[in-house]
Amino acid sequence: MVLSNKDSEKKQLNLKTVTWGDDLTWVDIVQPTKDATEYLADHYNFNPLDLEDCLSPRQLSKVEEYPEYLFVIFHLAVYDKVTQVSIRKQWSAFLGDKFLVTLCPGELKSLDALFRQCELSEEARQEYLSRGSGYLLYRILDRAIDSYFPVLNKIMSLMEDIEDGVFSEEVEVAKEISILRRDIITQRRLMFPTRTLLGELEGKLKRYTKMDLTIYFSDLMDHMNKICETLDEFEEIIEVFKDADFVLSGYRANRVIRLLTVLATVGLPFLVVAGLYGMRVMLPGGVDKGSPQTFFLLLTIIFILIGGMLYFFRHRRFI
């Protein structure tokens, strides 16, 4: 099959489209480049600064309203199984009466799966595209947020493992606690602004949909509130684990130091007596004649001193 010049250009720009009659066109661009933003500038009346923001990986979540379209930047946390830390996924959307343009610098499974479904199924296109661009954006957000719950389940599983390790004397979990704590902080930094953005976006989508989205966004906000509350709970729990691990680690270290101190102190009489009678000077009961009675006398003195020290330590609850 020979591609037309137009199709070839879209393929080079990683640009895909699905349409529903003349009502709505969904344009999806994966890993947008400057050429892709120039293409959008030629075909749509987008603010050049917004197009630049789409290429910048360090933008804040925001909603900007224009007479002809809405521009939105979202952030979602995607868990990386290798580093065990969530990474930020930023994607942008231009929303108009008859178009929705989404741009994502990398793969976002929930968005890609929905787009693929619309490509392959006319029923899916009718369900998602026939109700306006606002409803389509809502469905994208709904899938993206629902896909985040397995991440919370994974964190819960890791926290259970850490809890077992914290209260086990044979496992050191300080590193695991630090990694998970950093991950939770990262996710809170991403998801809390997203919740605020959704609350702001709800009222501005009314002009771009053929139906009332109040109930739908209420359900979406319920999910976001649950996510944020769960992250708050995780943060409190991980702080408790951190403090508990610090206290227990100090206790274990003190116990080892106490044992070593007792052993060193108990062995001190032996070293003192052995040192004294090992000198080449005349001492009472000296061993210059090699008398066995003197040897046993020294052992008796040493054991009496050790026993007396052990009794003293036990009486003072040192051991």
44-71 tens-digit pLDDT: 888 899 888 888 877 888 899 998 899 9
Q: How many distinct structural domains can be found in the chain?
A: 2
* Domain shared by 42 and 187, yes or no: yes
What is the pTM for the complete model shown? 0.74
Alpha-carbon span 56 to 90, nearest angstrom:
9
* Domain shared by 150 and 71, yes or no: yes
What share of the chain has pLDDT > 90, as a percent? 6
Question: Taking 60 as the threshold, does the pLDDT of residue 256 lie above it?
Answer: yes
Question: Taking 50 as the threshold, does the pLDDT of residue 281 lie above it?
Answer: no
The verdict on residue 132 lying in a domain is yes
Cβ partners under 8 Å of residue 92, min gap 6:
50, 53, 54, 71, 72, 73, 74, 102, 103, 104
**Domain CATH number, residue 235:** 3.30.460.20
* Domain shared by 201 and 309, yes or no: no
pLDDT confidence tier of residue 144, bands split at 50, 70 and 90: confident
pLDDT at res. 72: 92
- Eight-state DSSP code of residue 211: S
pLDDT at res. 183: 86
Alpha-carbon span 139 to 271, nearest angstrom:
80
Name the residue range of residue 281's domain. Answer: 267-315
Average pLDDT over residues 90-100: 90
The verdict on residue 255 lying in a domain is no
Alpha-carbon span 247 to 303, nearest angstrom:
37
| Separation of first and last alpha carbons in the chain | 86
> For the ranges 25-29, 81-85, 127-131, 183-187, which has the lowest average pLDDT?
81-85
pLDDT at res. 226: 92
Question: Taking 60 as the threshold, does the pLDDT of residue 280 lie above it?
Answer: no
* Domain shared by 205 and 271, yes or no: no
Question: Taking 90 as the threshold, does the pLDDT of residue 94 lie above it?
Answer: yes
> For the ranges 75-84, 155-164, 186-195, which has the lowest average pLDDT?
75-84
* Domain shared by 208 and 276, yes or no: no
What average pLDDT is seen over the chain?
81
Cβ partners under 8 Å of residue 130, min gap 6:
20, 23, 24
Question: Taking 70 as the threshold, does the pLDDT of residue 282 lie above it?
Answer: no
pLDDT at res. 6: 62
* Domain shared by 301 and 234, yes or no: no
Question: Taking 80 as the threshold, does the pLDDT of residue 285 lie above it?
Answer: no
Name the one residue in this structure whose structure tokens are 């599983």. Answer: 157
The verdict on residue 152 lying in a domain is yes
